[in-house]
Amino acid sequence: MNKEDFVKEITNIDENFAQWYTDIVRKAELADYTETKGCIAIRPYGYAIWENIQNYADKLFKESGVKNTYFPVLIPESLLQKEKDHVEGFAPEVAWVTEAGGEKLEEKLCIRPTSETIFTTMYSKWLKSWRDLPFVYNQWCSVLRWEKETRPFLRSREFLWQEGHTIHETEKEAKERTLKMLDIYSDIVENFLAIPVIKGIKTETERFAGAVETYTIEAMTYDGKALQSGTSHYFGQNFTKPFDVKFQNREGKQEYAYQTSWGISTRLIGAIIMAHGDNRGLKLPPKVAPIQVVIVPVAMHKEGVKEKAEELYNSLKDKFRMEIDLRDNVSPGFKFNDWEMKGVPIRIEIGPRDIENGVCVLVRRDTQEKITVKLDEVDKEIDNLLVEIHNNMFETCKKRMNAKTTIAHNLDEFKANMDKEQGFIKAMWCGSSECEAKIKELTAAKSRCIPFEQEKVGDTCVCCGKKADKMVIWGRQY
């Protein structure tokens, strides 16, 4: 089956990226639509990717002092009302439970869109003294947000995530935790998922509801759109004051704690698809791939082929996440394409001639390169290849991000750049929310972040022409 035939299996990535994405989600058996509108069923292969992300992230969390916990999915309306900005920010997305057991509830309950309010309520009961601090807690759970438009993994009504909620003795400690979690998120996305990110702070308009500051990591998809891949929020005392989270400080006086929250979600699976996939399907970075290596015997009906493939599988299965494809009702070509669709980083092909010569063929999913390797050296070669594949996938995304990042000095340039080469635009900004809104209205691009690594790409605001000292990354988003 040649490339042109294979592409017929899914929409061409350059012709209709959105449909290509949906095709991959279903064809690679990551998820499927359900009878519950706006909600997906994550299939075992998709969930295995999430488990790997979860395990890697959870290890980093715990190494930094995070403890896991669990809180109720239902939150009383009275709690949500305590923090004005928070409730206003989430009101359009909240789903309510008003009746249970055949009776109307005395107080309606929201299905958690996020859990700041219930965490903070419990913290107010548990916190007594500065000696109790910090509380550095996290929960792995699902949340519900009544999104108008949904897309599998990227924006569904119910999704899986982790949400960390911490309280601290001092403002300094809380801010340090906020940035520490952002660094951990950057590690996850870059070092585990092979996707480069830009770290920065959100503008006031784009802040999380109720936050003093919101920090973000921003990735870029194949088609040049931005994908917010993790956020970390510093709340100061915006929640601890209305929720009365006080403690006796070192001087014996009552003081309000300082708070943070931070989260990543199954949106990261969408990021993997959109950053790495191609016209052959999914392309998984080796560290997150549920199956790192698949063995496909060729001419399996011939004597000794199946047995040699199984012998090879047994010698490697304890070192790598392995699969062996012994299906006898489909051709080797079908199998090759099937595993490419699922994004398995390395395929091992072995047939009668290979066995005779004491070799096998390794095929890289990222480059389609074929490498003939001696059977007694295959484990070392796989070890090296998995590292090479990760690095190559990261660099491929990095080059794309650089190629699709331009500079604009005025609105005409901004619009021309965005229409010609959809991607990130670096432009100076005066700090006015009116300018931010005008750019969005004219170009459909939003401020992604004020990057930590600032560049002076001009002296004046890209919108109004007034003096500006902040360089902002702008882009259209998923």
Instruction: Assign domain 293-385 to its CATH superfamily.
Output: Anticodon-binding domain (3.40.50.800)
SS3 call for 180: helix
Residue range(s) occupied by CATH 3.30.110.30 in the chain:
405-475
Q: Are 467 and 430 in contact (CB under 8 A)?
A: yes
**pTM beyond cutoff 0.85:** yes
Residue range(s) occupied by CATH 3.30.930.10 in the chain:
17-276
> What does the pLDDT read at residue 83?
65
Residue range(s) occupied by CATH 3.40.50.800 in the chain:
293-385
> What does the pLDDT read at residue 87?
64
> Which CATH class, in words, describes the domain spanning 405-475?
alpha beta
> What does the pLDDT read at residue 1?
41
Joined together, the tokens standing for residue 327 give 């299906």
C-alpha 333, offset from chain centre? 32
**Which helix H or strand E contains 478, and what residues bound it?**
none
Query: From its phi and psi, is residue 317 left (phi > 0), alpha (psi between -120 and 50) or beta?
Result: alpha
List, as one string, the DSSP characters of 241-272.
Answer: TTTT-EEE-TTS-EEE-EEEEEEEETHHHHHH
Q: What is the CATH architecture assignment of 17-276? A: 2-Layer Sandwich (3.30)
Instruction: Measure Cα distances from 296 to 309, 323, 368, 385 in Å.
Output: 8, 9, 15, 18
> What does the pLDDT read at residue 470?
96
Q: What CA–CA distance (Å, rounded) separates 120 from 11?
A: 47
Q: Is 178 buried (19+), middle (13-18) or exposed (0-12) by CB count in 10 A?
A: buried
Q: Are 473 and 425 in contact (CB under 8 A)?
A: yes
Give the residues of the chain that fall short of pLDDT 50: 1-7
> What does the pLDDT read at residue 330?
93
Instruction: Measure Cα distances from 211 to 76, 138, 239, 431, 448 in Å.
Output: 21, 18, 9, 18, 17
CA angle 447, 449, 453 (to 5 degrees): 135
Residue 340: partners with Cβ closer than 8 Å, 6 or more residues away: 280, 281, 347, 365
> What does the pLDDT read at residue 5?
46
